[in-house]
Amino acid sequence: MSSNPTTFHGEPGDRKPVDWDDSSELHLHEDNGGVLHRFKTIRRGTLAELIDVVMDLPEDEQPRYSIQKAGDHRLEIGEIRALFSRPDFPGNKG
């Protein structure tokens, strides 16, 4: 099974399964400006758990967070929201 989430921006292609149990880290963007942004690890857990954490935050605070998946893939708020809205997201009722 692929650990990489699939089409977040509506690209054509089959929707592949997501490894919701993939090891991930929740990061807070530090507001230090510049080209290189520093990140602070807030929490570790599965991809599904961390998506839930972000989506439980007030909407205006959500963009301050990102999720770093195993394999060096960082999910920003657009991808996090897209994964949360998938019918196969754990907790969603088909």
As a whole number of angstroms, the distance between CA 45 and CA 8 comes to 21
Predicted TM-score (pTM) above 0.85: no
Site of tokens 């994964």: 83
Half-sphere exposure of 55 (CA within 13 A, CB side): 16
pLDDT of residue 91: 72
pLDDT of residue 47: 96
**For the chain, which ranges sit under pLDDT 70?**
1-15, 30-39, 93-94
pLDDT of residue 13: 53
As a whole number of angstroms, the distance between CA 59 and CA 38 comes to 22
The values of phi and psi at residue 40, to 5°, are -115, 125
pLDDT of residue 1: 44
Write out the H or E segment, with its range, that includes residue 65: strand 65-69
